[in-house]
Amino acid sequence: MKYNKQDFARRLSQFNSDYCTDVPSKERSVQFIENLIHALFPIRQNCAVDEEEIAIELDRSAVKLRELLHSISKSLEQSPDELTEAFFSRVPEAFEQLAADADAVTRFDPAASCVEEIILCYPGYFAITVYRMAHILYGLKVPVLPRILAEYAHQLTGIDIHPGAEIESPFFIDHGTGVVIGETARIGKEVRLFQGVTLGALTVERSMANTKRHPTIEDHVVIYAGSTILGGDTVIGHHTVVGGNTWITESILPHSVVYRNHRVLVKDRKDFIPPVNFEI
């Protein structure tokens, strides 16, 4: 088929007029969250921590959010001004959660030398920071913007936290790459996740959009690397340790230890006979 630029441009125009109206700018969304994080943690920019300067940064963040909300005002249940006020009224509580999250890292991770290192270097902490801000917007029923923020953190860290998940504090993600936390997951206090953990759904169907599809993790649970926990009815009881590379689709009682029963064999290399075609 011969390429016709004008016909293709017309098709693109029709498609995008249906799907790309009344959505926030990704670039301006990123600017907003970076500015807000700068206000919450000036150390990330190696800037002064003067009270007045921080207040100015918070005002600048509010302006950026209000502008974003005005761009999607037709999709909002409240006015941009009301939503901006509601968002920033909840930010102090979210900051206290983040302070507790940082403290948890210093208690659990012997590699963490100070809070400054956690804020500057830990991808899990950055992902949690963005999640806690996106979660406020999600609760205020702001469309699309919470997902843009979550995917920005996902892109930078490899950690995918849906803004609809309910995560209490303190919360700690160690290393983090490959962690997936679904929209209806619920996570209690003092929970620790390692890399490659999935809190997902057993089945994915559009009809389940308004049902609880993802597991509940109660307080003081540790889930080690590579574990997959699925299902909205699955509850991991408090003070449970879930070993690495486990597959769980049923509830676990509190104070349990879950692990794979497999063996690792070690042989003397002098007596080891390689299999046929071992070398490639």
pLDDT band at 274 (very low <50, low <70, confident <90, very high): low
pLDDT band at 264 (very low <50, low <70, confident <90, very high): confident
Closest CA to 213 of 227, 199, 197, 225: 199
Which residues, listed in sequence order, are joined to residue 198 by a DSSP beta bridge?
180, 228
Whether the pLDDT of residue 279 is over 70: the answer is no
Q: Which residue has the higher pLDDT, 269 or 226?
A: 226
pLDDT band at 226 (very low <50, low <70, confident <90, very high): very high
- pLDDT at 272 (0 to 100): 64
Q: Does domain 22-158 match CATH 1.10.3130.10?
A: yes
Structure tokens at 95: 């900051």
pLDDT band at 209 (very low <50, low <70, confident <90, very high): confident
Place of tokens 């006979």: 273
Closest CA to 63 of 44, 43, 47, 85: 85
Supply the pTM of this predicted model.
0.90
Structure tokens at 2: 């011969």
pLDDT (tens digit, 9 = 90+) per residue, 111-154?
999 999 999 999 999 999 999 999 999 999 999 999 999 999 99
89-93, 137-141, 204-208, 260-264: range with lowest mean pLDDT:
204-208
The per-residue DSSP string of 137-197 comes to HHHTT--SHHHHHHHHHHHHHS-EE-TT-EE-SSEEESS-TT-EE-TT-EE-TTEEE-TT-
pLDDT (tens digit, 9 = 90+) per residue, 13-49?
988 887 766 889 999 999 999 999 999 998 766 666 7
pLDDT (tens digit, 9 = 90+) per residue, 54-110?
999 999 999 999 999 999 999 999 999 999 999 999 999 999 999 999 999 999 999
Arch. (CATH architecture) of 178-260: 3 Solenoid (2.160)
Whether the pLDDT of residue 234 is over 90: the answer is yes
Task: State the burial class of residue 129 (Cβ atoms within 10 Å of its Cβ: 0-12, 13-18, 19+).
Answer: buried
pLDDT band at 1 (very low <50, low <70, confident <90, very high): confident
Where do the domains of the chain lie? 22-158, 178-260
Spatial separation of the C-alpha atoms in residues 231 and 228, rounded to whole Å: 10
Whether the pLDDT of residue 165 is over 60: the answer is yes
CA angle (58, 161, 199) in 5-degree steps:
155
